[in-house]
């Protein structure tokens, strides 16, 4: 379980968020949550092989294709796909030394992925909404 203090540090110490499964549909949380974080000053990079641009941002098909340093990998994909996503993130971390946090959105959990991240010293948050947690932890920021 990630403490409130640890989550505050995640939000305060990280800037670039790759959103795996970001949606083109503004009505879906996979679009509205990253759009909210974008409005709070975070750099959002969509990872979606089915779109060219989302929210004015260039989309990428693969994690390895992203040139920028990644702080957080936020995942909006089915829980049964998370282990493969985490393995890809671990490969990238080994190659580039980035990705400090993997965050599974509310409703998504995977204990095997959690164990993999523990071994790799990556902070793992699961079954929590980044927008809700940001609003709860920083009510003064809206």
> d(Cα 122, Cα 104) in Å, to the nearest integer?
13
pLDDT, residue 1, reads 57
> d(Cα 67, Cα 115) in Å, to the nearest integer?
27
- pLDDT grade, residue 142 (50/70/90)? confident
Q: Any residues with CB less than 8 A from the CB of 13 and at least 6 apart, and which? A: 71, 100
- pLDDT grade, residue 133 (50/70/90)? very high
Q: pLDDT digits over 10-60, tens only?
A: 999 999 999 999 999 999 999 999 999 999 999 999 999 999 999 999 999
| Complete domains list, the chain, with CATH | 4-141 (3.40.50.720)
Q: Going by DSSP bridges, is the β-strand pair 57-58/53-54 parallel, antiparallel, or unpaired?
A: antiparallel
Residue 116: CB atoms within 10 A of its CB come to 19
Mean pLDDT of the chain: 95
| Helices first, then strands: H and E counts in the chain | 5, 7
Q: Name the least confident of 1-15, 64-78, 126-140.
A: 1-15
């Amino acid at each position: 379980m990630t403490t409130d203090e640890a989550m505050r540090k995640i939000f305060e110490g990280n800037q670039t968020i790759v959103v795996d499964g970001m949606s083109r549909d503004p009505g879906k949380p996979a679009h509205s949550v990253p759009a909210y974080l974008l409005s709070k000053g975070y750099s959002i990079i969509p990872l979606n092989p089915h779109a060219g641009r989302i929210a004015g941002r260039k989309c990428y098909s693969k994690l390895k294709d992203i040139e920028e340093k990644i702080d957080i990998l936020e995942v909006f994909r089915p829980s049964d796909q998370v282990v493969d996503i985490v393995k890809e993130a671990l490969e990238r971390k080994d190659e580039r030394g980035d990705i400090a946090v993997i965050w599974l959105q509310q409703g998504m959990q995977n204990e095997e992925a959690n164990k993999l991240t523990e071994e790799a010293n990556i902070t793992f948050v699961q079954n929590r909404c980044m927008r809700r947690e940001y609003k709860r932890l920083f009510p003064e920021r809206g």
